[in-house]
Amino acid sequence: MRITHFTNPRLAQAFVDYMATRGVVLRIEHDEAYTILLDDDSKADLVENELQQFVRDPLHPRYQAASWQSGSTTSGLRYQHTSVLATIRQRAGPLTLTIMVACVAVYILMQVVGDRAVMYWLAWPADEGQYFQLWRWFSHALLHFSLLHIVFNLLWWWYLGGAVEKRLGTGKLVVIALISALLSGWMQAKFSGVWFGGLSGVVYALMGYAWLRGERDPASGIFLERGLMAFSILWLVIGYFGAFGLSIANAAHVTGLLVGLAMALVDTRQVRK
């Protein structure tokens, strides 16, 4: 019985090794992909249930432990070398990559001509005369003021935005990004004025969306581990108290998080746990 297939040989072997610890023997056949086969179809229900959990979190430590316990160095699998850029492209869709490139380009420009000059073009509208420059309501998300700032935001954007775009489509990511950029920017401007920037409002929206979507609709394949969600809340608290001398756009973060939670709640209102 064919169970499933993987394009990643390590994931295929990890699942086979884990099922071996459950007393189920699986085989791997390699053609264009790594196909998992089950000889004893009486174990099919058990395998399917375990597969659903594995797909949700294939990097869970229990699967690595199973490979150490039951794995073999003679599996015959050959691992294809992939570059960093190939790995980035594999997880990210066109919008995810476009925003990453735009943020990097804007950051480089800020180093060349100065922060103030670029903010004069892209920052949140400062007065009524700029209200009709529609790009300003969103382009503030492309502004970053340090290497740590842009690396932190782009890693989260790639990790969560790429997953949303790959599984739910570019349209869903567009909606989340535009709404969260607009509302988080509006709230931050109320608290600190227009001289701010960064993708973190959108990132926090993705955190909230991915976490609640995973809790209420696991079949969607969108999730954020509870430990990482706890980290994001801790980061909010650190920013609120100004710990470690960090200057953090707290209003944008909180607003983005609430926007993401609300959108996940709307998208899962018909889902039964």
- For position 245, what pLDDT does the model report? 46
Is 200 assigned a catalytic role?
yes
- For position 260, what pLDDT does the model report? 96
- For position 242, what pLDDT does the model report? 60
Phi, psi for residue 124 in degrees, rounded to 5: -55, 145
List, in sequence order, every residue forming a beta bridge with 30; answer none if it has no partner. 34
- For position 257, what pLDDT does the model report? 94
Residue 4 and residue 12: Cα distance in Å, rounded?
A: 9
Contact present, 21 and 69 (Cβ < 8 Å): yes
- For position 81, what pLDDT does the model report? 57
Is 5 assigned a catalytic role?
no
- For position 70, what pLDDT does the model report? 62
- For position 143, what pLDDT does the model report? 96
- For position 250, what pLDDT does the model report? 82
- For position 122, what pLDDT does the model report? 96
- For position 4, what pLDDT does the model report? 87
Domains located in the chain, CATH noted: 2-70 (3.30.70.2350), 84-267 (1.20.1540.10)
Neighbour order of strands in the sheet with 26-30: 2-6, 34-38, 26-30
From the list 200, 220, 232, 247, the catalytic residue is 200
Residue 58 and residue 251: Cα distance in Å, rounded?
A: 34
**Could you read off the pLDDT of 82-105 as tens digits, one per residue?**
567 777 877 889 999 999 999 999
Instruction: Tell me which residues of the chain have a pLDDT lower than 50.
Output: 243-246
pTM above 0.95, yes or no: no
